[in-house]
Amino acid sequence: MNRVVITGIGAVTPLALTAEETWARLVRGESGVAEITHFDASDFDTRIAAQVPSFDPANYMDRKEARRMDRFCQLAMAAAIQAVEDAVLQPEKRDKDRVGVVVSSGIGGMLTYENEVRKLIEKGPRRVSPFFIPMMISDIAAGQISMRFGFRGPNYATTSACASSANALVDALRLIQHGEADVIIAGGAEAAVTPLGIAGFNAMKALSTRNDEPEKASRPFDAGRDGFVMGEGAGVLVLESLDHAQKRGAKIYGEFAGAGMSADAYHLTAPAPEGAGAQVAMRHALRDAGFSPADVDHINAHGTSTPANDKNESLAIAAVFGDAADAIHINSTKSMIGHLLGASGAVEAIAVLQAIVSGTIHPTINQEQPDPDCPLNYTANSAVERQVDAALSNSFGFGGHNVSLAFRRFA
């Protein structure tokens, strides 16, 4: 099978409008959580979120195009353009039949859905936009990106809730490994900081209500955690076969060494006890990558800041890695950018690759009260300088979808 490497990254996050600046702020331990400004949240139990600041789609497309895209799709396009430029891919020089796009969303066009339902109720069916369906559907970001660049290879989205973009990366890995494509643009986007999105997660009691201290609300693995913080954003990566990347002289962030997937088969939203499904995914990822537990230096955890997830993920890591677990630097990107739902896996994979390249592991912030149920090394509050040769990134989704991605330093 073909070896697969990462040659380009792009991100639009609550911390910054580029992957580079996002990484700089992650290393500094800065929070992107603040009061909700997208709508009036004064009547909601949760009035905070991690929103993308000052995003202007006109920097990436004309106004007409922007009006025909939901916000999640605009964010995906921005991240994809960044990634293609970062990879110096030069689309006009590629065999476009051999370049695909797998860019996902867990929810899709939530804002568009809400706006058009309001029109239907208030003004009648004839006022619903003809662009409603193509703006709302989760696969449209992949379609729009392929049209932007003319890429005619495999083109679709995976939808597995908060594991969606991690699943997109797995599919991209397999497509290149098996020779279906030379290059895949892969990742995910989400923009569900909307009235219905916040109200829905509030109804589930899933969100933090630490409204008076937004920057401290997302606190994975801390004893005071009370729920996750909704985030929005996009992460896109350029995956290539090693042969294709080397022939064109591309820079390489790291090698995508393997992946593991599993199902909890347990509950709609709660993780399986002791992270049983997460254990299976991580064991599969280790085996697929050819890693032993002692090889792994770093794990970017799913780390949502919910009581059940953080406890069970900790138990799963301890079970899989045994005596080697204490030597692993674990962190949660969500402590600073909130939970980007279907985009989180891709953004967190980018963070892992930047850790590999820089030799720096960003902190998990808001670690103030140790939780005896979470006894591992979560890289509390300050970044750590450490060579990262092998790493995992975990993503778990409602419905019991588990994905673990394995990366290694390229040499």
Return the active site residues.
Answer: 162, 302, 339
d(CA 320, CA 286): 10
Structure tokens at 146: 């392929």
